[in-house]
Amino acid sequence: MVTARRPLIAGNWKMNLDHLQSIAFVQKLAWNLKDAKHDAATVEAAIFPPFTDLRSVQTLIDADKLELELGAQDLSDNDSGAFTGDISGAFLSKLAVKYVIVGHSERRTIHLESDEVVASKVAAAHRNGLVPVVCVGETADDLEKHGPSAVPVAQLKAALAAVPSSAEIVVAYEPVWAIGSGQAATPDQAQQVCAALRATLVDLLGADAAASTRVLYGGSVKASNIASFMREPDVDGALVGGASLDITEFASIIRYQNHVGV
Ligand code: PEP
């Protein structure tokens, strides 16, 4: 059965905000959304704080029944054992974490995560009841050499190699050249690649799963451009980095449906 895709706005804080700052931030974000009468049934909002903030944020979300989902920025591909510094998906699951980012370009570049490692982390997320937000995207060099879709499509195929077709996943198309650069893709570029990724999901998972899987765009998303991405038929939300650290800006991105002209 094909399910309607609820848009998802996901805020990746990267290595910003300690646990005390995160509590203040989440309280203010929730007040802002409540004041604006944001309805989480229409647009889901999720935040991805650093590991050390997760327990504090989870306690706050639970206690105040906030309509925010919790995500982690990475996980180990192992569930336990001698892996100093790594974080198990089982531990994240215990903290009521729903989503986990896998294969972010910063992990692929700085931590040299290969497609195989990404696939193994996607499998670990699934095994532990977490929904992986699988990041794919081409560098400026890839774009010039191979065009916009080839690298993201190949990365997606590799990432899903070890999970069953029934696994819930979210895909995030993040052109590396657009991340943190202030130079977002055009809505048309984003649509083109997101459509190619959805076609790949049809091949890998079947038509129904592809139709219900959310494909996000990420890369210099702001309040001023989110509505134009969300008008595209294959863009189901955004993975937001820098702009997710500004409460008013992030709340406005979440409330894109209220923007003039949408
Ligand atoms: C990201 O890092 O996933 C991202 C999209 O960053 P920014 O929004 O700052 O470009």
In testing the pocket of ligand 1, which one of 107, 181, 220, 249 has its CB within 8 Å of the most ligand atoms? 220
- Nearest ligand 1 atom to the CA of 242 is 9
Q: What is the pLDDT of residue 262?
A: 53
133 found inside a domain: yes
Give the pLDDT confidence of 29-49 residue by residue, as tens digits: 999 999 999 999 999 999 999
Contacts of 144 (CB under 8 A, 6+ apart): none
Name the residue at shortest CA distance from atom 8 of ligand 1: 241
Note if 126 is an active site residue. no
* Mean pLDDT estimate for the chain: 96
User: Given a cut of 70, is residue 261 above it in pLDDT?
Assistant: no
174 found inside a domain: no
In testing the pocket of ligand 1, which one of 48, 134, 179 has its CB within 8 Å of the most ligand atoms? 179
Determine whether 34 is exposed, middle or buried from the number of CB atoms within 10 Å of its CB (0-12, 13-18, 19+): exposed
184 found inside a domain: yes
Give the pLDDT confidence of 204-240 residue by residue, as tens digits: 999 999 999 999 999 999 999 999 999 999 999 999 9
Identity of the residue numbered 48: F
Domain that holds residue 78: 8-168+180-257
19 found inside a domain: yes
220 lines ligand 1 (CB under 6 A): yes
Q: How far is the CA of 246 from the centre of ligand 1 (A)?
A: 13
173 found inside a domain: no
Contacts of 110 (CB under 8 A, 6+ apart): none
User: Given a cut of 80, is residue 2 above it in pLDDT?
Assistant: no
Angle at 22 between CA 19 and CA 28, to 5 degrees: 150
Cα within 13 Å of Cα(231), Cβ side: 11
Q: What is the pLDDT of residue 259?
A: 79
3 found inside a domain: no
- Nearest ligand 1 atom to the CA of 184 is 10
1 found inside a domain: no
Name the residue at shortest CA distance from atom 4 of ligand 1: 241
Instruction: Find the CATH number of the domain harbouring 80.
Output: 3.20.20.70
174 lines ligand 1 (CB under 6 A): yes
pLDDT band, very low/low/confident/very high, at 260 (cuts 50, 70, 90): low
Buried b (16+ CB within 10 A) or exposed e, 9-30: bbbbbbebbeeeebbebbeebb
The better pLDDT of the pair 1, 114 is held by 114
By percentage, how much of the chain surpasses pLDDT 70? 98
Q: What is the pLDDT of residue 61?
A: 98
Hey, what are 116's tokens?
A: 């195989």
Note if 259 is an active site residue. no
Cα 161 to the chain's mean position, in Å?
A: 19
- Nearest ligand 1 atom to the CA of 220 is 10
d(Cα 5, Cα 39) in Å, to the nearest integer? 15
Q: What is the pLDDT of residue 4?
A: 82
- The number of distinct structural domains making up the chain is 1
Give the pLDDT confidence of 147-200 residue by residue, as tens digits: 999 999 999 999 999 899 899 999 999 999 999 999 999 999 999 999 999 999
44, 104, 106, 138: which is the annotated catalytic residue?
A: 104
95 found inside a domain: yes
Q: For 245, which DSSP code?
A: G
Name the residue at shortest CA distance from atom 2 of ligand 1: 241
The 8 Å CB, 24+ separation contacts for 207-210 are: 208/1, 208/2, 209/165, 209/166
Closest alpha carbon to 134 in 156, 113, 164: 156
240 lines ligand 1 (CB under 6 A): yes
